[in-house]
Amino acid sequence: MTAPSYPVIRLRPKANARAIRHGFPWVYENELVTDRRTRQLDPGTIAVLEDTDRQPLGLVAFNANSRIICRMLDRDPAATIDHDWFATRLTKALSLRERLFDAPFYRLIHAEADGLPGVVIDRFGTHAVVQPNAAWADATFDMLSDALMAVTGVTTVIKNASGRARQLEGLDNETRIARGSAPEAPIPVPMNGATYMADLTEGQKTGLFFDQRPNHAFAARLSQGARVLDVFSHVGGFSLAALAGGAASALAVDGSEPALTLAGAGADAMGVVDRFATRKGDAFDVLTALGEEGEKFDVVICDPPAFAPSKQALEAGLRAYERIARLAALLVAEDGYLVLCSCSHAADLAKFRGACTRGIGRAGRQAQLIHTGFAGADHPLMPQLAESGYLKSLFFRL
């Protein structure tokens, strides 16, 4: 079998070829020669990338509709992107997760860091939810799905097409069952001694956030015998972990009734419904109302969605993080704990920490920063790509 003949595309003279040689995985639209021939390439086309001296840099996925016009797939320009290529990367990723976890519930593929740019795969036992957030992954989705089933033994593959990333690539938002059949009920997921109910087809993102696993565990250690408030709780991420760790009570706050229903189902499965309560509403409004009601909690956790999903939204996002910190700090009992999280890659750790510190100060509280948490090891970072280190969790003692 002869290797496929891929089209050749070339960097502009001012592009940073050295950064790409040293591992940076992206080429931006202003760094590539985009003549008429190049512009005619279909989104997701695999091509050989050359520098200005016509030296090959590797195989890339091309998409003229995206600001990230090329994503590095393989440093070997003679590689063939086929079933075996996918299987090799999936096998490497699986070997890490099987070393880390006793049960098959984890992020299996974390995009560039696992060698599949723009691809996210979360595994829930025999089910896998795939987010092909780049055009090349959409174009090769069937091949990826077949390799995924062969390597892992999963029997159901769900294509999740929600999210901002696919819009930026010019892709559709059609979520569907790609292989197997849809789960008839939410899937119970064991994590940190808690049980979470994951809705893989109608839930947020892939159905559950595995990235906070180590931060859930750290918060649970602080929560023994404590009254816990979990704001932006989704399906009970921090609150159920706290109850599993011996919290006296936990109140989960979220704007989504379905998410709170799943959180309640998780509490029921754990046998802790007598210590668990929910409150539906806008987080800012509920925090304000709890303050007016004179409520105090030993541990308060706020894990909001990305307030700063882009550089353009950074300043507004930082103001929102500061406001959340101020409102939440007012609810923390003396010598209690405040946990503030951000999944905004545009807000780096220093900026996020600064916003939180200002908010705590505006509440008139003194704080010790006792721990900084990040995503779990099933969400590896690509050292050359700062954007892959999106999650920050700050643990304060007030």
Assigned domain for 127 exists: yes
pLDDT over threshold 80, residue 387: no
Residues 175 and 57 both lie in one domain: no
Assigned domain for 3 exists: no
Count of the separate structural domains present in the chain: 3
Which residues sit opposite 251 in a β-bridge? 229, 277
Q: Is 240:197 a contact under the CB 8 Å cutoff?
A: no
Measure the CA–CA gap between 375 and 353, rounded to whole angstroms: 16
Read off φ and ψ for residue 62, nearest 5 degrees. Answer: -105, 140
Assigned domain for 256 exists: yes
118: region left, alpha or beta (phi > 0 left; psi from -120 to 50 alpha): left
Measure the CA–CA gap between 123 and 105, rounded to whole angstroms: 5
Q: Is 206:200 a contact under the CB 8 Å cutoff?
A: yes
pLDDT over threshold 70, residue 388: yes
Final residue before a domain boundary, out of 179, 203, 233: 179
Residues 132 and 219 both lie in one domain: no
Query: Max Cα separation, the chain?
Result: 73
Residues 241 and 300 both lie in one domain: yes
Q: pLDDT (tens digit, 9 = 90+) per residue, 290-336? A: 999 999 999 999 999 999 988 899 999 999 999 999 999 999 999 99
- Quick one: what percent of the chain has pLDDT higher than 90? 89
In this structure, the number of other CB atoms found within 10 A of the CB of residue 18 comes to 9
122: region left, alpha or beta (phi > 0 left; psi from -120 to 50 alpha): beta
Q: Is 378:341 a contact under the CB 8 Å cutoff?
A: no
Residues 235 and 339 both lie in one domain: yes
Spell out the SS3 assignment of the chain.
Answer: CCCCCCCEEEECCCCCHHHHHCCCCEEEHHHECCCHHHHCCCCCEEEEEECCCCCEEEEEEECCCCCEEEEEEECCCCCCCCHHHHHHHHHHHHHHHHHHCCCCEEEEEEHHHHCCCCEEEEEECCEEEEEECCHHHHHCHHHHHHHHHHHHCCCEEEECCCCHHHHHCCCCCCCEEEECCCCCCCEEEEECCEEEEECCCCCCCCCCCCCCHHHHHHHHHHCCCCEEEEECCCCCHHHHHHHHCCCCEEEEEECCHHHHHHHHHHHHHHCCHHHEEEEECCHHHHHHHHHHCCCCEEEEEECCCCCCCCHHHHHHHHHHHHHHHHHHHCCEEEEEEEEEEECCCCCCHHHHHHHHHHHHHHCCCCCEEEEEECCCCCCCCCCCCHHHCCCEEEEEEC
Q: How confident is the model at residue 2 (pLDDT cuts 50, 70, 90)?
A: low
Residues 68 and 132 both lie in one domain: no
Q: Is 61:169 a contact under the CB 8 Å cutoff?
A: no
Residue-range definition of the domain harbouring residue 125: 83-179
Q: pLDDT (tens digit, 9 = 90+) per residue, 123-172? A: 999 999 999 999 999 999 999 999 999 999 999 999 999 878 888 888 98
Final residue before a domain boundary, out of 30, 57, 74: 74
Distances (CA, A) of 39 to 34, 55, 134, 159, 171: 6, 21, 17, 28, 17
Q: How confident is the model at residue 3 (pLDDT cuts 50, 70, 90)?
A: low
Assigned domain for 1 exists: no
Per-residue pLDDT, 386 = 79
Assigned domain for 218 exists: yes
Residues 238 and 356 both lie in one domain: yes
Q: How many CA atoms lie within 13 A of 183 on its CB side?
A: 23
Residues 233 and 371 both lie in one domain: yes
Q: What is the mean pLDDT of the chain?
A: 95
Assigned domain for 2 exists: no
Per-residue pLDDT, 300 = 98
Final residue before a domain boundary, out of 159, 179, 199: 179
Any idea what the CATH number is for the domain that residue 24 is in?
A: 2.30.130.10
Q: pLDDT (tens digit, 9 = 90+) per residue, 54-106? A: 999 999 999 999 999 999 999 999 999 999 999 999 999 999 999 999 999 99
Assigned domain for 147 exists: yes
Q: Is 26:132 a contact under the CB 8 Å cutoff?
A: no
Per-residue pLDDT, 207 = 87
Residues 172 and 239 both lie in one domain: no
Classify the C-alpha dihedral 56-60-62-66 as positive or negative.
Answer: negative
Assigned domain for 67 exists: yes
Residues 55 and 149 both lie in one domain: no
Q: How confident is the model at residue 1 (pLDDT cuts 50, 70, 90)?
A: very low
Residues 238 and 297 both lie in one domain: yes
Any idea what the CATH number is for the domain that residue 343 is in?
A: 3.40.50.150
Residues 61 and 126 both lie in one domain: no
Residues 175 and 213 both lie in one domain: no
pLDDT over threshold 60, residue 191: yes
Any idea what the CATH number is for the domain that residue 126 is in?
A: 3.30.750.80
